[in-house]
Amino acid sequence: MENRSNTGGPPIVTVSQVNRVVSSIVKGDSRLGNVAVRGEISNFTRHAATGHLYFTLKDEHTRLRAVMFADKAAGVKFSPKSGDSVIVRGAIRVYEVNGEYQVYCAEMTRDGEGEQAAAFEELYKRLKAEGLFAQKRPMPARPLEIAVVTASGGAALQDIINVISRRYPIAKLTVVPVTVQGVYAPRSVARGIAAAQHTGAELIIFGRGGGSAEDLSAYNTEEVVIAVYASGIPTISAVGHEIDTTLADLAADLRAPTPSAAAELAVPDISELSAELESVRRYIGSCVTRRIADRERALNSAAGLIKALSPQSRIADGERRLSSLSDSISLKIHNSVERAERAFLCSAEVISALNPLGVLARGYSVTYCGEKIVRAADELKEGDDITLKLARGSASAKVVSVSED
């Protein structure tokens, strides 16, 4: 409620009313609803519990308090700190509790980052149109010499050495030391990539460990991209962490998310190669064994055919056939002789049975009357002289009487 002063002056209001009026005036000014403010951060504080950011923006003349709530702060792509030159976008509002106005930040970027992003996008489009990102050559399967273009004392180099020594210790590493950060880095890296091609290497790994966008800026320069594209041997990029992507990554034949991953992509695992080699050895051994067995069978078959067609074989075969025929003839002759002998013996028995001498030998005699054999009694008469032929010797007799009984 307004109160009039005793002197008839302006109405008397409370502090809260004043702050409320000022706040409404500020809110009603469209110019203050969406502002972009450039300044240097000071008195930076990140609230441990809420994650809200509280700081002051200053220039050479004045200061402006600022706040950025946690949900907006999560979208900031760097870690702000006192001394950083930034551009914030947001709204000017009055904090009525203490009557101070401040900028409520919705976005924060490094001062100049917008221009850098625009320049990056323009360079990217031009280099892509020129075909510098299209070349993708295959990696050598088992490189024996590898060049590493990086800072000589960096963790990236040690990671690469450790991984390759473990996975593929027969590979020879040649380190080409370069400056990876600062104003001289682009030329140093470009010259290092060119020099690596004269080391006898079959493959180039280039890169560095992680860092801010500014730290990696050398790998977003046209000079380095051209050096990578012009390399006469395949390249693997290993710049920063997995979330970082530079123009040099796009120009490389193969991009690795980290230096360790680049080393793993560059060489095979020797233990896996040993297993593959043993498998191939067994396969070759099996093939050789089968081939030898096949050749032996073919040789034995040919030898048998040659032996079958040779004169000696034919002579031996004829001899076997002749021997078989001879045996057959001998058997037939033997059988014929046996049959003839049996027939002869049978005939001899018949002849023997019919032989008069044989009859005489059994006790019979032959009676002769003169020169005539007497076969019947009526051929004789009393008084005839007869001769009896015996088996041994003969006898003379005279017929006394004749009887035909």
DSSP state letters, 109-144: EETTHHHHHHHHHHHHHHHHHTTTT---PPPPSS-S
What is the structure's pLDDT at 327? 80
As given in the structure block, the two tokens for residue 247 are 């123009």
What is the structure's pLDDT at 184? 94
Q: Does domain 127-268 have CATH number 3.30.365.10?
A: no
Residue 114 near residue 87 (C-beta atoms within 8 A): yes
Distance in angstroms (rounded) separating the CA atoms of residues 247 and 258: 16
Residue 128 near residue 210 (C-beta atoms within 8 A): no
With tokens 């702050």, the residue in question is 19
With tokens 């001498």, the residue in question is 357
Per-residue pLDDT of the chain (405 residues; tens, 9 = 90+): 455 555 667 888 888 888 888 888 888 888 888 999 999 999 999 999 999 999 999 988 899 999 999 999 999 988 899 988 899 999 999 988 888 899 999 999 988 766 777 788 899 999 999 999 999 999 999 999 999 999 998 899 999 999 999 999 999 999 999 999 989 999 999 999 999 999 999 999 999 988 877 788 899 999 999 999 999 999 999 997 767 789 999 999 999 999 999 999 999 998 877 777 777 888 888 888 888 888 888 888 877 777 666 677 777 777 888 788 778 887 888 887 788 778 777 776 666 666 666 666 777 788 888 888 888 888 888 888 888 888 788 888 888 888 876
236: nearest Cα among 269, 274, 193, 194: 193
Residue 176 near residue 227 (C-beta atoms within 8 A): no
What is the structure's pLDDT at 1? 47
Asked, colleague to colleague, whether 12-114 and 127-268 share their fold, the answer is no
Domain ranges of the chain: 12-114, 127-268, 272-309, 359-398
The CATH number of 12-114 is: 2.40.50.140
Strands (E) in 161-255, as ranges, are: 172-177, 203-208, 235-239, 254-255
pTM value is 0.51
Residue 350: which region, alpha, beta or left (left: phi > 0; alpha: psi -120 to 50)? alpha
Question: Kind and range of the H or E element at 264?
Answer: helix 259-266
With tokens 């730290």, the residue in question is 215
- The number of beta carbons lying within 10 Å of the beta carbon of residue 76 is 17
Distance in angstroms (rounded) separating the CA atoms of residues 346 and 213: 135
What is Dmax (Cα atoms) for the chain? Answer: 236
- The number of beta carbons lying within 10 Å of the beta carbon of residue 155 is 14
Residue 40 near residue 83 (C-beta atoms within 8 A): yes
Task: For residue 392, report the phi and psi dihedrals to the nearest 5 degrees.
Answer: -130, 105
Would you give the end-to-end CA distance of the chain in angstroms?
Answer: 207
What is the structure's pLDDT at 171? 94
369: nearest Cα among 402, 347, 323, 340: 402
Task: For residue 310, report the phi and psi dihedrals to the nearest 5 degrees.
Answer: -75, 155
Residue 113 near residue 121 (C-beta atoms within 8 A): no
Distance in angstroms (rounded) separating the CA atoms of residues 34 and 276: 65
- The number of beta carbons lying within 10 Å of the beta carbon of residue 386 is 15
